[in-house]
Structure 1
Amino acid sequence: MKKEYRIKKNKEFQAVFKNGQSFANRQFVVYVMDQPEQVHFRVGLSVGKKIGNAVTRNRIKRLIRQVIFEFSPELIQNKDYVIIARMPVADMAYEEVKKSLAHVLRKAKVLKKQHVQLKGETKHN
């Protein structure tokens, strides 16, 4: 993910926490804040020390970044997103992370296509 697509500064994280809306399931909490002057979205990731050691936390962040990269065409662009991983994510495979994150993003109504087809799912016509 390119640098301009990331939220890095504590001040920016705090602004999203304070002014954004939160949506959650058992694995993730997603804060969403409108940024009308922005042309693209930005994402901040938070994986706490309770979840595991540095290797585990970095693996989770890589998985989340990859999911966001795949969803980027469907994500509403002029927003800031902060994604907080919860404990169950440590034991999840990529497909499970993708499905869970898609669920929270659909709940937040920030995916343009409301049905993002996941691997293994079939469309019923």
Structure 2
Amino acid sequence: MRKEQRVKKNSEFQEVFKKGTSIANRQFVVYRLKKEEQKFFRIGLSVSKKIGNAVVRNQVKRYIRQVFLELKDDVKDQYDYVIIARKPAADMDFHDVKKSLIHVLKKSKVLDSKQHAQFDKRK
């Protein structure tokens, strides 16, 4: 992700929390806020110290960024997204993180639901 594709400032996070909508599953909470003047989407990540040590937190953030990189053509533009990782995310590998994020993004109607059907199959 390029720098201009990230939500970095506290004021930007607060705006998404206050004006945006949220949807969640057990592992992630996704806040979204439509920005008409924006040509691309931006993501902000919040991974609490409750998740684990710095190594674990950074790994979770890398996984989330990689998922958005792989889904960049399918995720709706003109939105700011803030992803909050919950405790179960610490024990997940990349494929589990991807499956969970696809699920929550489809629930929030920002991802094309016809694609990524292979992740809908439950065990």
- The alpha carbon displacement at 1:47 in A equals 0.2
Q: Distance in 2 between matches of 1:107 and 1:74?
A: 14
**1:88 paired to 2:98:** no
Consecutive unaligned residues of structure 1, counting only runs of 5 or more, are none
Match of 1:14, SS state, is helix
- The alpha carbon displacement at 1:73 in A equals 0.3
CA contact (8 A) 1:22 1:32 kept: yes
Q: Distance in 2 between matches of 1:109 and 1:115?
A: 13
Q: Distance in 2 between matches of 1:118 and 1:47?
A: 27
**1:68 paired to 2:59:** no
- The alpha carbon displacement at 1:55 in A equals 0.6
Aligned twin of 1:41: 41
Consecutive unaligned residues of structure 2, counting only runs of 5 or more, are none
Aligned twin of 2:51: 51
Q: Distance in 1 between matches of 2:46 and 2:95?
A: 20
User: TM-score w.r.t. structure 2 length?
Assistant: 0.93
4+ runs deviating over 6 angstroms? none
- The alpha carbon displacement at 1:113 in A equals 4.5
Q: Distance in 2 between matches of 1:118 and 1:32?
A: 25
| Equivalent residue pairs, number | 120
Q: Distance in 1 between matches of 2:11 and 2:31?
A: 15
Aligned twin of 1:104: 104
User: TM-score w.r.t. structure 1 length?
Assistant: 0.92
Over the aligned positions, Cα root-mean-square deviation in angstroms equals: 1.2
Q: Distance in 1 between matches of 2:3 and 2:64?
A: 16
Q: Percent same amino acid at aligned positions?
A: 58
Q: Distance in 1 between matches of 2:83 and 2:67?
A: 12
Match of 1:15, SS state, is helix
Aligned twin of 1:77: 77
- The alpha carbon displacement at 1:118 in A equals 4.1
Matching residue's letter, 1:73: D
